[in-house]
Structure 1
Amino acid sequence: KRDQIDVYHGTSYQLWARGIKGSVVTIHDLALVKFPEFSKRLLGEGWSIYKTRKTLQRASKIIAVSKNTAKDLCDFYQVPSEKVRVIYNGIGEEFFSAPSSESLKSVRARYAIPPGDYILYVGGSDPRKNLERLLEAFSILLKKVQPLILVVTGGMGRRGKEIYQKIERLNLGENVVLTGHVSSQDLRLLYSGARLFVYPSLYEGFGIPVIEAMACGVPVITSNISSLPEVAGDAAYFINPYDIQAMAEAMERVLSDKNLAVSLQAEGLERAKAFSWEKAASQTLAVYQECLI
């Protein structure tokens, strides 16, 4: 009231103020509700869950970034479904622009990626992203497909030591490139240069890397759980992320079946066009207008 805010929007889980007419909060996922063992907090997520519950009670409207996240909210927090609006994330137009061959060569040199084909993974050592099982599957794949590189982007903070040990134990040192964090521009180039993008996450509220890869024209393999089938539609090859052998077989099939790869590329590009920040903004504005009525 002091600031004369008609509608206040907390864009990431919390409401730091209240609007005179109403308040909107965006919930991106319930990852630590689903996987409390991955919490960074020594005492767990009890306090965070309590705060989120209070926030959801105070909010006039709740934006969930997928139907799956909306369902999770209603199931876990007993949020009335009529209070929730699903608004998908978007993707920047730059991901649809084909990069030059020079820029693709430059990004490979920048991260010391050896010549030849590579599979891309995004997510670092976050245990929810399932890199350890992907490494196991990649080790199986290498027995049939050579030469091949796995490029891993993202930080190696949490469980990084275990990742390094697994790479060493599986003798993958010459076949895995760890880039660390990369800029959004370099990420787009890494997508574009990949033969295949694999995203075996155990849980996502949305899964932006899936549509980023699709927009860059890369065949996508992803998990058949949480929001990922909803977001990817019919444009990805789905796997059980807990099944290492199935993951290896899926990678081998997409790499060896040119018709399948081309089909996934075409369908993925069309699927990615369904997501835009302009659409998300328009739908968010409509939620604000609901609060003003």
Structure 2
Amino acid sequence: VEGFYRLLKRKNYDFYLLFTGNFYKENKVYKYLVKRIKDLGIEKRIIITGWVPTKHLKVLLSNALISIIPSLYEGFGLPILESFFCEVPVITTNRGSIPEIADDAAILIDPYDYESLSKEIEKLIEDNGLREELIKKGKKRLVNFDWRKTAFQILGIYDNLLKDVKRSKL
């Protein structure tokens, strides 16, 4: 919200910020978010959808110009891969497992640096070449997370462990 607000102050783009996810209206974070949006006067530019079923999420993502994933803590980073799959460039944070998942296929930012976020959003809006480059890298990166490939890697680990156990018993 803060980064989007700063972007709108600098450039009056005709864009909307769409929030998806499980938001409980009694949650403190949700209440703060809604209040902050109103305080900044940008409530007409922000849509909070709440939870979105997968089939609708694909439609939303496929029509997005940019996917912004400002996670502070992320166990795996599935939204990043979903964005890669839908060929949407990603801006995300440099926290937790996110840099490992995104690699060089996304723009990584400090989640508390709102000015940097607004500038990176502007860069992606203005630079078609950068957007296309990130989309291409995202498609390449996605190949690393194929379930079949992951299953074979896990089987290989188990196979090596079993070989080590057999050798140690000899």
Q: CA deviation at 1:291?
A: 6.4
Q: How many residues align?
A: 159
| 1:243 matched residue in structure 2 | 113
Secondary structure, aligned partner of 2:76: coil
Whether 2:87 is the aligned partner of 1:217: answer yes
Q: State the distance in 1 between where 2:19 and 2:80 align.
A: 15
Q: State the distance in 2 between where 1:291 and 1:242 align.
A: 46
Whether 2:163 is the aligned partner of 1:163: answer no
| 1:152 matched residue in structure 2 | 19
What is the root-mean-square deviation in Å for CA atoms of aligned residues? 1.8
Secondary structure, aligned partner of 2:43: coil
Q: State the distance in 2 between where 1:185 and 1:291 align.
A: 41
> Which runs of no fewer than 5 residues in structure 1 stay unpaired?
1-134
Q: State the distance in 2 between where 1:273 and 1:291 align.
A: 28
Q: State the distance in 1 between where 2:35 and 2:137 align.
A: 37
Whether 2:8 is the aligned partner of 1:138: answer no
Report the residue type matching 2:18 in the other structure: V
Taking only the aligned residue pairs, the percentage that are identical comes to 38
Larger Rg: 1
Q: State the distance in 1 between where 2:30 and 2:70 align.
A: 18
Q: State the distance in 2 between where 1:253 and 1:284 align.
A: 39
With structure 2 as the length reference, what TM-score do the two structures score? 0.85
> Which runs of no fewer than 5 residues in structure 2 stay unpaired?
166-170
| 2:73 matched residue in structure 1 | 203
Shift >6 Å, 4+ stretches: none
Report the residue type matching 2:16 in the other structure: I
Q: State the distance in 1 between where 2:55 and 2:34 align.
A: 26
Q: State the distance in 2 between where 1:145 and 1:207 align.
A: 31
Report the residue type matching 1:283 in the other structure: Q
Deviations 1:179-220 (A, max 9, x none): 111111111111111000011211223211111101111011
Compare the two structures and name the one with the higher helix fraction: 2
Report the residue type matching 1:136 in the other structure: E
